[in-house]
Structure 1
Amino acid sequence: MKWGTKYGPEYVNRLYAMARRHLSGDFGFVCLTDDPEGIRSEVQCFPIPPLDLALAPGQVDRAWKKLTTFEENLYGLRGQALFIDLDVVIVGSLDAFFEYPGEFLIIHDYARPWRRRRITGNSSVYRFEIGAHPDVLAHFRENMDAVQARYRNEQTYLSAFMHRKGTLAYWPAEWCPSFKYHGIPAWPTNYWREPFVPEGARIMVFHGECNPPDALAGRRNRRFRFIRPARWITQFWNA
């Protein structure tokens, strides 16, 4: 899914290329977007379904648009869908993401000491049956103000909703590690050791202050958070 100007078409094109290299067999690759310009022809582009979400001046976009993937009739698409954020790097086979048992699967949001018991998932990678959970979107549309007041962002709401339905489940922790939590050497070794791909990783998730091109250039966009260039990215993040 791509909207706005933060991510250009090259992110979609690279994601498609990485998926093609790491999936066996045929698959369809879909991008919901407000601008298909520059996206490669192998990608099916559809408009993002309307959400009628009005952000107040200065209000941060909390990715609520992702909930439109749960539209009951999503352009006639059918089957299992694996949603993947644009700002990730695929480093291993994706086949198991379609084989792992469960009705709705998501990354278990990365545990920090103050939130180890949270049920919240990280929606950088989640799997669902297209059209099977329209109530997620319907409830949000009918209760936008209340939902936004209660939940910080779309993944917090989505996780809570699926938990109440009894369908929330998580990927094995090693499949989708966080670059900033699991792929950067501990201080002070980060000054002489390069970032790395943890063992068992399939998708490296870039969230927060650092995207793949930043990491590749050794930029972390936070003061006092030094990293060396993550040169391993050149092996995987290409079209």
Structure 2
Amino acid sequence: MPIESTAGPQRHILCMKWGTKYGPDYVNRLYAMVRRHLSGDFNFVCLTDDSQGIRSEVQCFPIPPLDLELKPGQVDRAWKKLTTFERDLYGLRGRALFIDLDVVVVGSLDAFFEHPGEFLIIHDYARPWRRRRITGNSSVYRFELGAHPDVLAHFRENMDAVQAEYRNEQTYLSDFLYHHGKLAYWPAEWCPSFKYHGIPTWPTNYWREPFVPEGARIMVFHGECNPPDALAGRRNRRFRFIRPARWITSFWKA
């Protein structure tokens, strides 16, 4: 059962878990990594459709309803993450840092709450000719709870049109906040991509192990493999060899 909302610290870590792709161990490991790398008090919240197995330090709430019906053959593009922008998200108040479950925290998180900006997100790693240059990667973003309800309201009122124009929630989110003058990015070195920045270039990837780039605070795993895959030296595309990323064992643990 979800834990009832209570008054607490003004810094919140948000994550979201739905379906069966990620088990409660991902939430539990993320909590542990945040606890080791964020000084002072904070409130850890998981929006989820199943709170079973999640450690007691995590406050669990149901994912707010989005009333989005996927059409036959349509892929879930993480539109549920837009519900973090509810005007009143279970009575929570303060500054929230949303973090995806499939990341590894490798450095201090304190500056993520201190960096200036109204809405901060990763500047997307994809090549500029493949996506809009302004697009953010929503693996890590920060905002004031309740400050941007128009993001969600506009989506709910225009679901079909938004989905026809935008590939996923992060493309829509970036574009919407950009045109409202509120989009800003984290320093590039803080949230590097494992795929683009943590794998040695060919052919050295055959004898050099994946690594944590200098200045990294959160390693983002997207597209090809998650932390356990990288630890085992697996990628989901043939002929893209990597050695086991043994550095993960030092950070990705409960």
- Mark the CA change 1:217 to 1:23 in structure 2 (over 3 Å): closer, same or farther: same
Distance in structure 1 (CA, Å) of the matches to 2:131 and 2:247: 30
| CA deviation string 1:60-107 (max 9, x = no partner) | 100000000000010000000000000000000000000000000000
TM-score where L is the length of structure 1: 0.98
- Alignment of 1:79 with 2:79, yes or no, is no
Distance in structure 2 (CA, Å) of the matches to 1:159 and 1:24: 29
Distance in structure 1 (CA, Å) of the matches to 2:126 and 2:140: 16
- CA positional deviation for 1:117: 6.3
Unmatched runs of 5 consecutive residues or more in structure 1:
none
- CA positional deviation for 1:112: 1.9
Distance in structure 1 (CA, Å) of the matches to 2:128 and 2:83: 32
Corresponding position of 2:251: 236
- CA positional deviation for 1:59: 1.1
Distance in structure 1 (CA, Å) of the matches to 2:149 and 2:100: 21
User: Which of residues 137, 140, 165 is equivalent to 1:150?
Assistant: 165
1:8-157 to structure 2, matched below 5 A, reads 8-112=23-127, 114-115=129-130, 118-157=133-172
Corresponding position of 1:168: 183
- Mark the CA change 1:149 to 1:113 in structure 2 (over 3 Å): closer, same or farther: closer
3-state DSSP class of the match of 1:122?
strand
Identity of matched residues, %: 90
- CA positional deviation for 1:58: 2.2
Q: How many residues align?
A: 239
Unmatched runs of 5 consecutive residues or more in structure 2:
1-15
- CA positional deviation for 1:116: 8.0
Q: Which range is displaced more, 126-135 or 56-65?
A: 56-65
- CA positional deviation for 1:35: 0.3
Structure 1 stretches of at least 4 aligned residues deviating more than 3 Å after TM superposition: none
Q: Alpha carbon RMSD of aligned pairs, Å? A: 0.9
| CA deviation string 1:22-64 (max 9, x = no partner) | 0000000000000000000000000000000000122110000
3-state DSSP class of the match of 1:226?
coil
- CA positional deviation for 1:111: 4.6
User: Which of residues 208, 213, 227 is equivalent to 2:242?
Assistant: 227
- CA positional deviation for 1:114: 2.3
